[in-house]
Amino acid sequence: MNYRHAYHAGNHADVLKHIVLARVIEHLKKKDKPFRVIDAHAGTGLYDLSGIEAGKTGEWEGGIGRLAEPFAPEIEALLQPYREVIDALNSGGLTLYPGSPELALRLMRTGDALLANELHAEDAMALERHVTGEPRARVTALDAETCIKAHLPPPERRGLVLIDPPYEAKNEAEKATRMLGHGLRRFATGVFLLWYPLKADDIAAGIIAEVEAMKVAATLRVELRVREAFAGGGLAGSGLLILNTPWRLDSELQLILPALAQRLGLGNWGHGLVEWLVPPK
Ligand code: SAM
């Protein structure tokens, strides 16, 4: 396992994933009943954008670094929860960026719960230290697939599951859709978010086809492309498949994605996509 998220925190893919995550949590908060966030690939929780790792790649500068200027008011209203978390971590300037567990904890209510799982031993320890004293959070250091099998369905019977692998190993796409299948069998009503990379390979197409075949009503495909994909050229964008999409999240993302694509896209390459892979019933 070579992947360390500290090199990539706050990049365009994190911006897309975290904006969607924040919107899903806001939708879950519309009902009083508590929910649980199961973050199967959690990372460390908080990232220092002035640190060595982030400085080596500078990826955040093409992501959260480009969001300083406000968007149109109707878009800002939707981004407010995400923005508020980042503002609360930074007093003026931008040095700290929240990972998915930190974002979830800051948006969740008193009775909601977080299960944050991270396999990398050092990162799991950093995450454990980070959430020390937070009664709503529990950290595990399992393989994500084992975590999903062990912890679904959640006792609250409401919640979201984030599947966010690094796709370093050859079998990781296959494993990601397999764990989604396991998760759905155990927790059919849960909101599942599956992240995938857009590169000059067929990983995204394979994942999308597999998930479409699962035929889960209200499966939304959301993609943010920022540059041309070419062999050896790395991440050209990213996508999320949202299963059991909360009502009206699609129209919110229809507003947000073109604005993000325009802001984060290089040259004319910026492109946002929001479409039903399987429509709601
Ligand atoms: N979800 C995080 C966020 O949004 O802030 C970022 C996660 S990062 C893309 C992927 C994480 O998965 C890395 O921290 C990596 O160590 C971890 N990881 C890799 N293989 C794993 C596995 N089999 N099970 C659980 N975690 C794994």
Using one digit for the tens of pLDDT, what is the confidence trace for 50-75? 999 999 999 999 999 999 999 999 99
Task: Give the pairing type, strands 36-39 and 113-117.
Answer: parallel
For ligand 1, mutation pick of 1, 2, 5 (most atoms within 8 Å of CB): 5
Q: Which residues, at least 6 apart from 56, have a Cβ–Cβ distance to it below 8 Å? A: 7
Per-residue pLDDT of 21-53, as tens digits, reads: 999 999 999 999 999 999 999 999 999 999 999
Per-residue pLDDT of 148-170, as tens digits, reads: 999 999 999 999 999 999 999 98
Residue 234 has pLDDT above 90, yes or no: no
Predicted pLDDT of residue 278? 98
* Ligand 1 atom at minimum distance from 102 CA: 5
pLDDT above 70 covers what percent of the chain?
Answer: 100
Q: What is the pTM of this model?
A: 0.98
What pLDDT band is residue 232 in, cutting at 50, 70 and 90?
confident
Residue nearest to atom 17 of ligand 1 (CA): 41
Q: Is 37 exposed, middle or buried (0-12, 13-18, 19+ CB in 10 A)?
A: buried
Residue nearest to atom 14 of ligand 1 (CA): 43
Tokens of 236: 């050209």
Q: Which residue of the set 164, 201, 202, 250 is catalytic?
A: 164
Predicted pLDDT of residue 92? 82
Per-residue pLDDT of 167-223, as tens digits, reads: 999 899 999 999 999 999 999 999 999 999 999 998 999 999 999 999 999 999 999
For ligand 1, mutation pick of 12, 25, 86, 119 (most atoms within 8 Å of CB): 119
Residue 101 has pLDDT above 80, yes or no: yes
Tokens of 218: 């209200």
Under 8 Å between Cβ of 274 and 253? yes
**Dist. CA 125 → ligand 1 center (Å):** 13
Backbone φ and ψ for 180, nearest 5 degrees, come out as: -65, -45
Residue matched to tokens 């220092």: 48
Residue nearest to atom 5 of ligand 1 (CA): 99
Ligand 1 site residues (CB inside 6 A) read 1, 3, 5, 14, 17, 41-43, 99-100, 117-120, 123, 143-144, 164-166
**Catalytic: 164?**
yes
Residue matched to tokens 């992501």: 63
Residue nearest to atom 16 of ligand 1 (CA): 120
Residue 225's alpha-carbon distances to 158, 229, 234, in angstroms, are 31, 9, 12
**Dist. CA 254 → ligand 1 center (Å):** 28
**Dist. CA 5 → ligand 1 center (Å):** 7
Predicted pLDDT of residue 170? 87
Predicted pLDDT of residue 198? 97
What pLDDT band is residue 2 in, cutting at 50, 70 and 90?
confident
Average pLDDT, rounded, for the chain:
97
Predicted pLDDT of residue 20? 99
Predicted pLDDT of residue 159? 98
Predicted pLDDT of residue 226? 98
